[in-house]
Amino acid sequence: MAAPGPAQLPALQGLLKAPSKDAVRQLCQECFSSPPAGLGPLALRTSAGLALSPAEAEQLVSALHGLTRHVVYRGLTRAEDILSLFPETFHQNLKNLLTKIILENISAWRNEAQASQISLPRLVDMDWRVDIKTSSDSISRMAVPTCLLQLKVQEDVALCGNSPVVSALTVELSKETLDTMLEGLGRIRDQLSAVANK
Amino acid sequence: MGLLNFTRDPVPEAVSGDLHNLNQLSAQQFSDLTQVLFSFLTEPKEVERFLAQLSDFATMNKISLGPLKNIVKSILLVPSGALKRNLSSEQVRADFIALGLSEEKASYFAEQWKVNSPTLTRLAVGQTLMINQLVDMEWKFGVTAGSSELEKVGSIFLQLKLVVKKGSQTENVYMELTLPQFYSFLHEMERVKTSLESFT
Task: State the smallest CA–CA distance between residue A176 and chain B in angstroms.
Answer: 10
> How many angstroms from the chain centroid is the CA of residue A81?
23
* Residue B115 at interface with chain A, using a CB cutoff of 8 Å: no
- Closest-CA residue of chain A to B127: A138
| A65 in contact with B, Cβ within 8 Å | no
How does pLDDT run across A7-58, given as a tens digit for each residue? 788 888 888 888 888 888 888 999 998 888 888 888 888 888 888 888 888 8
Q: What is the DSSP letter of A162?
A: T
Residue B146 C-alpha, separation from nearest chain A C-alpha, in angstroms:
9
Q: Would an 8 Å CB–CB cutoff place A136 in contact with chain B?
A: yes
Q: Quick one: pLDDT at residue A161?
A: 65
Q: How far off is chain A from B60, nearest CA to CA, in Å?
A: 35
Q: Has residue B194 got a pLDDT over 70? A: yes
Q: Is B200 on the interface with A (CB under 8 A)?
A: yes
Residue A196's CB: how many other CB atoms inside 10 A? 9
SS3 category, A138:
coil
Question: Quick one: pLDDT band at residue A146, thresholds 50, 70, 90?
Answer: very high
Residue B5's identity, in one-letter code, is N
Please report the ipTM that was assigned to this predicted complex. 0.74
Q: Report whether pLDDT(B149) > 80.
A: yes
pLDDT of residue B36: 93
pLDDT cut 70: percent of chain A above it: 95
d(CA B75, CA B92): 11
Phi, psi (deg, nearest 5) at residue B135: -105, -25
**Mean local confidence (pLDDT), B70-98:** 91
Give alpha helix (H) positions in B25-172: 27-42, 47-60, 65-84, 89-99, 103-126
Q: How confident is the model at residue A21, as a pLDDT?
A: 86
Give dist(CA A146, CA B199) in Å, integer.
10
Residues of A in contact with B153 (CB under 8 A): 114, 117
d(CA A195, CA B155): 12
Which residue in chain B has the smallest CA separation from A141? B86
- Global pTM reads 0.74
The answer on pLDDT for A87 being more than 90 is: no
Place B154 in a pLDDT band, splitting at 50, 70 and 90: confident
Measure the CA–CA gap between A178 and A181, rounded to whole angstroms. 5
Interface touch B132/A169, C-beta < 8 Å:
yes
> A residues 74-103 near B, CB within 8 Å?
74-75
pLDDT score recorded for residue B93: 93
Supply the pLDDT for residue A118: 84
Q: Quick one: which of B74, B72, B86, B73 has its CA closest to B117?
A: B86
Residue A5 has pLDDT above 80, yes or no: no
* Local confidence band at B1 (pLDDT 50, 70, 90 cut-offs): low
Give residue-wise pLDDT tens across range B109-135: 999 999 998 999 888 888 888 889 999
Contacts (Cβ under 8 Å, ≥6 apart) of B25: B33, B61, B105
Chains A, B: CB pairs < 8 Å: 158
Give dist(CA A60, CA A97) in Å, integer: 16
Does B147 sit within 8 Å of A128, measured CB to CB?
no
Rounded to whole angstroms, the Cα distance separating B169 from B175 reads 20
A161 vs A96 pLDDT, higher one: A96
The residues in A 147-186 lying below 8 A from B, measured between CB atoms, are 147-149, 151, 153, 169-175, 177-182, 184-186
pLDDT of residue A129: 94
Say if residue B11's pLDDT is above 70. Answer: yes
Residue of A153, A151, A148, A145 lying closest to A172 (CA atoms): A148
Q: Which residues pair with A132 in a beta bridge?
A: A145
Tens of pLDDT, residues B88-100: 999 999 999 999 8
Q: What is the mean pLDDT of the segment spanning A151-162? A: 78
